[in-house]
Structure 1
Amino acid sequence: MKRKVVKQGAATLTVSLPTLWTKKYNIQPGDEIEMEVQDKAVIITNNKPVAIEKKQIDISRLHPLINRTILRSYQQGYDELKLVFDRPELIQNAQRVVNELIGFESVEQGKNYCILRDIAGSSAEEFENIYRRIFLLLKSMANDSYDWFGQENYDNLKSIAFRDIDVNKFCNFCLRHLNKKGYKDYTKTSTIFFVIQRLEEIGDGYKELINQIAENKIEPDKDLLNIYKKTAQLLNLCYEFSFQHRRQKAVEISKTYDEIKLNITAGLRNTESQQNTHCMSIIKSLVDKIILVQGSQLAFIEDI
């Protein structure tokens, strides 16, 4: 969007505000707005509440895309979703994904519709807390599953896979916040969005790995346990780097990644177990996603 700069008086330069933005936030003459200069950019914000964005979804003939459509509409930033259906069992089947929408509650239900509404909202501070919480949940999945795997406690191991439900829930919340409000440093919004998508995939990867081990009662061997432990260390390093972008940490991550890849290659060559081969293949996919978390943030390094 381009605007012409207009000179008023001897030294004052003005530019008009976009009409869609002023209408959306009901900006009136005399209102105060906040302006922040970031290099070449000038960021304009206001404290007025945004008008509620609504969407109606007819889920009657949307199977098998019902849950994904509801989830993507939530992530996109809609504040109210009206779900219309011709069979009550459809909304019952969709309840699982509805339970994953942080801040959304069912506020009205009729014979053939249900209205979900955001009753909580979100703030930059809340986003930061939940963003960090995603990393901590993933770290707990990695570290605790390693411990139970080493002890061959398959019941406790399998229970850890359910933590991925909270990982998904928190990732969905953060993606929604970024779509509605952006990141606190708007120039980093697309990168943080990418990181959160990878974190969600890492949670899915650990869930698959844990279930594979627990369901097949795979016995831990030295090579597999070592790779498992190193992968958890790589994830922890990426967590630290994501909240303090230091050159030394980035280099350490890359070296750890290279070491794990060499260990996986050697492990695949040495093992005769098909199940161990499958586990190492899942871990290989995991570490490739973890390194993307680091790689996407290299431009943020502060001490180079």
Structure 2
Amino acid sequence: MNRKILQVGPSTLAVSLPSSWTKKFNIKKGEELTLEEQGNSLRIKTSSPIEEESAKINVSLLHPFSTKIIGMLYRAGYKKIKAIYTPNKTVTHRGKQLKELDMIQNTFDHLTGMQLWELGNEKEYYATIIESAKVNPKEFENILNKLYLHLIHQSEQIYNALLNNKDSFDEAYLTERLINQAQDFCIRILASHGHEDHKKTLHYNNLIYKLESIGDKYFQIALSHHKNKEKINPETLQYIEKAIAFIKESISLCRKFNFEKITSLIKELNESIKNYQEEIKKQETKSTLISFNIYSILLEIYEIIEILFFLNHTYFKE
């Protein structure tokens, strides 16, 4: 939308706002707006409350994707989510048998800043959550740090279990939930407010999804070991240990960029990927799923390093 600049008095310039905006954002005469520079753009912000966005989902019709869609609606910034369900219906969720309502409540419980508001039965049975705490963009770095720490804890947890041939499924299940919770909240912040450096919003979004994806793959490793009880060979364990070291190094570089360290990490990571390709060819078929997930983790760490370069693009400015 283009708007003409108007001159008001000898030294004051003004721009008019379209009525559709003033209605949507509840802007009144005399109210103060906040203007912020974003590169070659200006961003206008208002503190006026706007009508809360709400969403409705029929969980019964959309299972097994329903919980993922609830998470998507939360990440998109919806402040009220209504879930329609079938009473006493049992479903399989994350490897467990649950009543549909219990599955909904379990999903709701992991949405930071939301609370169960209403359980009802009018024309249909429903459960509704609403936002209980406003999203604070200043929390982003802290939650991202928690996401990284949960991922490191999960990777070490699973590595130690495999090293000692122990079942870590229950612990991995809980840790993966913490990873998803932190990821969801980070994305909700970015969807609602963006990053303070607007150029980095998309790339932080990609970084967070990569970290969550790595967590999913570690969970699949724990699940495969839980089901098949296979003993992991020392070579495979070696690459799981390497992946943990690479993740730790990436969080260090995310906090404080260092060109020498990141280039050294790229070389070591690239060499590990090539060597593991050869290692996979030697393995038996029964280990294929675990090997695939380890290989995928190494590739995703490599992609995270690429994202870190963009997040620190100013290093290359002349």
Give TM-score scaled by structure 1 length.
0.88
CA distance in 1, matches of 2:209, 2:139: 18
CA distance in 2, matches of 1:69, 1:157: 25
**Superposed counterparts of 1:47-196, under 5 Å:** 47-59=47-59, 61-85=61-85, 87=87, 89=89, 90-111=100-121, 112-152=125-165, 154-156=166-168, 159-196=171-208
Which amino acid is 1:188 matched to?
A: K
Deviation, structure 1 residue 273? 3.0
SS in 2 for 1:296: helix
Q: Cα 1:206–1:86, aligned 2, differ >3 Å: closer, same or farther?
A: closer
Q: Is the 8 A contact 1:242 1:294 kept in 2?
A: no
User: d(CA) in 2 for partners of 1:41 and 1:196?
Assistant: 26
Structure-1 residue corresponding to 2:93 = none
The offset of 1:53, in angstroms, is 1.6
TM superposition shift of 1:50: 3.7
**Residue number in structure 2 paired with 1:263:** 275
1:281 equivalent to 2:292? Answer: yes
1:117 maps to a residue whose letter is I
Residues 230 and 256 in structure 1, CA contact (< 8 A), matched pair in contact too: no
Over 3 Å counting, the alpha-carbon distance change for 1:272 and 1:26 in structure 2 is closer
Distance 2:160 2:182 in 1: 25
Structure 1 position 18, deviation (Å): 4.9
Contact 2:157–2:168 at 8 Å: present in 1 too? no
Following superposition, the deviation at residue 69 of structure 1 comes to 2.7
4+ runs of 1 displaced by more than 6 Å? none
Matches of 1:10 and 1:142, distance apart in 2: 64
* Shift in Å, 1:170: 1.4
Structure 1 residues 24-39: aligned runs within 5 Å: 24-39=24-39
Q: Quick one: distance in 2 between partners of 1:218 and 1:158?
A: 17
Q: Name which of 220, 224, 237 aligns with 2:236.
A: 224
Identify which of 176, 183, 207 aligns with 2:219: 207
Amino acid at match of 1:141: Q
Q: Is the 8 Å Cα contact of residues 155 and 244 (structure 2) preserved in structure 1?
A: yes
Change (3 A) 1:74 1:300: closer
Whole-angstrom distance in 2 between the partners of 1:64 and 1:276: 27
Match of 1:3 in 2: 3
Distance 1:69 1:242, change over 3 A: same
1:260 Cα deviation after fit: 1.3
CA contact (8 A) 1:109 1:115 kept: yes
CA distances 1:181-223 after superposition (whole Å, capped 9, x unpaired): 2122222111111111111111101111123234433334332
The whole-number CA distance in structure 1 between the counterparts of 2:145 and 2:208 is 11
Q: How far apart in 1 are the matches of 2:102 and 2:85? A: 11
Structure 2: tracts of 5 or more residues without a match: 90-99
2:308 is aligned, of 288, 294, 297, to 297
Displacement of 1:258 in angstroms is 0.5
Q: Give the whole-Å Cα distance in 1 for the aligned partners of 2:130 and 2:45.
A: 25
Between stretches 230-239 and 19-28, larger displacement belongs to: 19-28
Question: Structure 2 vs 1, CA of residues 247 and 277 (structure 1 numbering), >3 Å: closer, same or farther?
Answer: same
Q: Verify the 8 A CA contact 2:38 2:198 in the aligned structure 1.
A: no
CA contact (8 A) 1:6 1:14 kept: yes
2:266 pairs with 235, 247, 254, which one? 254
* CA separation of 1:278 and 1:86: change in aligned 2, threshold 3 A: closer
Return the offset for 1:9. Answer: 3.4
